[in-house]
Amino acid sequence: MASTVSSTATPGRRRTAIALLLAGLVTLVACAEESTDVVEITTTVTDGPSLPDPNDLASVCFSPIVVQTDWYPQAEHGGIYELLGNDYVVDATRGATTGSLVFNGVDTGVDLEIRAGGPFIESPVVTEMFLDGGIMFGYVGTDVALSRYAETPTLAVFNGLTINPQVILWNKSKHPNASSIADIAREVPAVSVFGDRPYMRYLVAQGTVPADKVDGNYKGSLLLATDDVAHQGFATSEPYRYRTLESGAIDVGYQLVHDAGWTSYPQNLAINKLRLDALRPCLAKLVPMMQQAQIDFVGAPERTVATILDVVTRFDTTWSQSEDLANYAVSTMKELGIVGNGTTTTFGDFESPRLDDFISLAIPILREQGLAVPDIVADDIATNEFIDPNITLP
């Protein structure tokens, strides 16, 4: 017959157990006193599950992470080059620079490949992104994203430049009273730009520039040295180049196209929208790194500027950069808020109603150019999903 064991001991059993325990302890003490050996007791402490390394991208990102830029390496790309480790190698034939992706001095476990644009690519950045599945990010302005959305939809996940550095500039000594694009358009015979620019159509529609003064044949030369006109340029480049002309310095005046009302975000880091789900885990960790890297670059640009200059030298093309020009670009970006928080405290986010208002303004103009632009809202082309709202430019 099976017996039942009670979980409660009787008083007699309890006294007996205590006596036996005391006797055992006495015996152990006696044995310890007689022994000359030292007994080491090792305690193993088992930690709980280890926390994921916030700087480790290897488990969530493809390698290399490829960024297709829109031009030769320059200070405007500084935030991306800030993430490039010192082990980089340059392929001048492809215009590609590849090295470890390093954040806050820590190797993230993946490589970063930065590809130059301009003559190194045979088609627009957006087209390259859809032709080459290895490209994770492309530099895609908001107006470009709208114009290309029907066939090649992209999604911007971070903007490194809050304001477009695009300007219309003129010879200030010849036009000392001009302070805006509207002013200079009344005083010069032509405003020269590259082709049929949407922002110029906007300026014409607003009455800022007379249609008969628009010259779409600008070739990129420093026209103010020979002609009394106005022409497009960048606040981060042309004013410095004119100031240091070998033929004699020219002091220029200019107005940002942004301040004239064309408020497109200029250099968004955008992905092929069809790949969003596949890239989402990587973007969640990488985008905040990009936010901080751009802030770190403008705060202490020396190392990254040296990298950019080295890459340009190794490319060995007609494109030139100098340390003084790069430093001028950085200081100008800070001074004009080209790199800035915008109207929020978050750096790199897409602001409402700015984006919504620009879409409403731009789509009719793009359609006038003959582009098939569908009805689009801000969420179609940009997202703050991966932005860390706590990262801010001091």
The pTM of the whole model exceeds 0.75: yes
Q: Using H for helix, E for strand and C for coil, what is the string for 291-309?
A: HHHHHHHHHCCHHHHHHHH
Q: How far apart are CA 267 and CA 234, in angstroms?
A: 13
pLDDT number for residue 50: 53
Given this model, what pLDDT does residue 54 score? 78
How buried is 18 (Cβ within 10 angstroms: 0-12 exposed, 13-18 middle, 19+ buried)? exposed
* Sign of torsion over alpha carbons 211, 212, 217, 221: negative
Q: Rounded CA gap, 146 and 51, in Å?
A: 41
Q: Using N-to-C axis directions, what is the helix angle for 323-335 and 302-315, rounded to 10°?
A: 130
Which pLDDT score is estimated for 53?
77
d(CA 331, CA 224): 24
Enter the tokens of residue 216: 């779409």
> How many residues are given for the chain?
394
- pLDDT score at 24: 40
Question: Which CATH number is 166-256 given?
Answer: 3.40.190.10
**Domain regions of the chain by residue span:** 65-162+265-381, 166-256
CA distance 194 to 115: 23
User: What is the mean pLDDT for each group of 10 consecutive residues in the chain (394 residues)?
Assistant: 37 36 36 41 44 84 98 97 98 98 97 97 96 97 97 97 98 98 98 97 98 96 96 98 96 98 97 98 98 98 98 95 97 98 97 97 97 97 98 97
DSSP state of 138: E
**Architecture of the domain defined by 65-162+265-381:** 3-Layer(aba) Sandwich (3.40)
